[in-house]
Structure 1
């Protein structure tokens, strides 16, 4: 994933998380992902795997394609 794509995916995850009124802490607990990693994802600092994308979409109750730009 290039930097621009990572940033776009992070923004989508942030938008969906906020629409569900979840904090980063709560999302991290529910998805069993470190909270600091959630922050790095949302800021586009890391390239996530499909496994993490699917885990987040399941936790957020949305289709994985909703998290893609």
Structure 2
């Protein structure tokens, strides 16, 4: 009887797999930059991720201090 067994789930690849493979294949760094706020937070952060041709990754996260509005 076919169909009695479930197929194992597909392996999940990291979200940045495309950028990592592109850096390795092209033999030059791939840079991703942007601004993000984390769940349940209103604090913005700037991020920069550099995928190196050797397969390594450098990640930088910087808290953005927004100017405060004057009262009134």
Instruction: Judge same fold: TM > 0.5, yes or no.
Output: no
TM-score for both structures, normalised by structure 1: 0.26
Structure with the higher helix share, 1 or 2: 1
Which has more radius of gyration? 2
Q: Comparing both chains, which one has the higher relative contact order based on Cα–Cα distances under 8 Å and sequence gaps of 6 or more?
A: 1
Structure with the higher strand share, 1 or 2: 2
